[in-house]
Amino acid sequence: MNSSCQFLAKRLLISPYKILSRNLSSSSSPKVLITGGLGQLGPGLATLISQRYGKDSVILSDIVKPNKEIEKKEINYLYADVLDLPNLQQIIVNNKIDWIIHFSALLSAVGEKNVPLALSVNVTGMQNILELAKQFRLKVFIPSTIGAFGPESPRNPTPDLTIQRPKTIYGVTKVYAELLGEYYSKKFNIDFRCLRFPGIISADTQPGGGTTDYAVKIFHDALETKKFECYLKADTRLPMMYIDDCLNSVIQFMEYPSEKLNQRTYNISAMSFTPEEIFLEIKKHIPELQIDYKIDSRQEIADSWPQVFDDSNARKDWNWNPKYDLPNLVEKMLSELRTINKY
């Protein structure tokens, strides 16, 4: 029996063997806690998990109040600040959690506006999650990003293993998360898994302050005003992905047998495009659409990131295979937004 089980048993005044047996029975139907679950990715992932394993298999948590849409979905929800370790410990014990999907973070653009907060949430919060994984023997997923690379990295294509010198606080904290997760995996035998996501595009949830957000806003403006002002230059190429592919990648990757993975951190990709290219694709459906360019500080961030992501290891090792390319993405986004917002 390991010392963390004994320590916990003492604190909780229950048999250490009960804790151990629960830890060992990480069943085929896991109990999943999603932190930072009310952002762009959490609600969709919670829906997918509840469809796959049952409604009681997932708990969304965040520090903000769920909106009406989330309430309608009837997904279990709890307040949980990732900086409050004792509260997270209680949640894990009381709810018999097996997996943590750790989504809490400040993204690239908002991170630059509040560096101390980005350090707290992205570093201290992430360290807490890894400690919990160690204490309670949890399987843990922490996403990374194209933003974990910098201008010194090869940008087209960017492989899994290469120079990583990111220039945003977001990127710096994500490289640390990758390294610390891999360290915990080796040192403490934690089942840590990490995917580096491209910019994610979704219709029913808004992005939380990243550099790739323009690729969501263009759809809303195309339908609403038919005019779009872009903060990146026309030829800025970045890797992107439709949300369904992103969420499916998490489930597929988390379910894959641990011993068959050759790495703990993988790039995943689906497409790469520029503002001009997505504009022209949307224009095929909305011919009146106009675009203007008014460049801001996010250009410098985008210029330091990969243009094309090499995800060949993910494809080879666990059969990663995205479904959406640019034309499919545009068709799907327009049809979803028309349904949701009745444009």
Ligand X SMILES: NC(=O)c1ccc[n+]([C@@H]2O[C@H](COP(=O)([O-])OP(=O)(O)OC[C@H]3O[C@@H](n4cnc5c(N)ncnc54)[C@H](O)[C@@H]3O)[C@@H](O)[C@H]2O)c1
Ligand Y SMILES: C[C@@H](O)[C@H](N)C(=O)O
Q: Which of 9, 12, 48, 63 binds ligand X (CB under 6 A)?
A: 63
Distance CA 200, CA 285 (A): 21
Only one residue has tokens 């959690």, namely 97
Report if residue 200 touches ligand X, rule: CB under 6 A.
yes
Handedness of CA 83, 89, 90, 93 (dihedral sign): positive
Q: Choose the contact partner of 311 out of ligand Y, ligand X, none; CB within 5 to 8 A by kind.
A: none
Structure tokens at 272: 């790469």
Report if residue 85 touches ligand X, rule: CB under 6 A.
no
Q: Which of 111, 125, 150, 239 binds ligand X (CB under 6 A)?
A: 125
The footprint of ligand Y (CB under 6 A) covers: 107-108, 145-147, 170, 199, 210-212
Residue nearer to ligand Y on the CB measure, 202 or 313: 202
Only one residue has tokens 């606080």, namely 169
- Which residue has the closest beta carbon to ligand Y? 210
Closest distance between ligand X and the C-beta of residue 177, in Å?
A: 8
Structure tokens at 256: 């894959």
Q: Choose the contact partner of 105 out of ligand X, ligand Y, none; CB within 5 to 8 A by kind.
A: ligand X
Q: Which residues within the stretch 205-264 sit at the binding site for ligand X (CB under 6 A)?
A: 207-208, 210, 212
| 256 is annotated as an active-site residue | no
Residue nearer to ligand Y on the CB measure, 30 or 199: 199
Distance CA 59, CA 33 (A): 5
Distance CA 268, CA 330 (A): 20
Q: Choose the contact partner of 322 out of ligand X, ligand Y, none; CB within 5 to 8 A by kind.
A: none
Q: Which of 104, 128, 135, 236 binds ligand X (CB under 6 A)?
A: 104
The region that residue 219 occupies, defined by phi over 0 for left and psi between -120 and 50 for alpha, beta otherwise, is alpha
Q: Which helix (H) or strand (E) holds 318?
A: helix 312-318
Q: What is the chain's Cα-based Rg?
A: 20
Quick one: which segment of 62-70, 262-270, 286-294, 309-317 binds ligand X (CB under 6 A)?
Answer: 62-70
Among the listed residues 77, 170, 184, 266, the single catalytic one is 170
Report if residue 180 touches ligand X, rule: CB under 6 A.
no
Query: What is the 3 state secondary structure string of 185-200?
Result: HHHHCCCEEEEEECEE
Cα 330 vs. chain centroid, distance in angstroms?
21
Residue nearer to ligand Y on the CB measure, 170 or 320: 170
Quick one: which segment of 7-15, 100-108, 219-227, 247-255 binds ligand X (CB under 6 A)?
Answer: 100-108
Closest distance between ligand Y and the C-beta of residue 138, in Å?
A: 24
Q: Are 317 and 266 in contact (CB under 8 A)?
A: yes
Closest distance between ligand Y and the C-beta of residue 197, in Å?
A: 6
Distance CA 1, CA 36 (A): 32
Closest distance between ligand Y and the C-beta of residue 298, in Å?
A: 8
Structure tokens at 20: 């151990």
Q: How far apart, in Å, are the Cα atoms of 232 and each of 218, 221, 301?
A: 12, 16, 10
Residue nearer to ligand X on the CB measure, 38 or 330: 38
Structure tokens at 92: 């894990």
How many residues belong to the site for ligand X (CB under 6 A)? 28
Closest distance between ligand Y and the C-beta of residue 105, in Å?
A: 8
Residue 100's nearest CA partner among 74, 115, 78 is 78
Chain residues in the site for ligand X (CB under 6 A) = 35-36, 38-42, 62-64, 81-83, 103-105, 107, 121, 125, 143, 145, 197, 199-200, 207-208, 210, 212
The catalytic residues are: 170
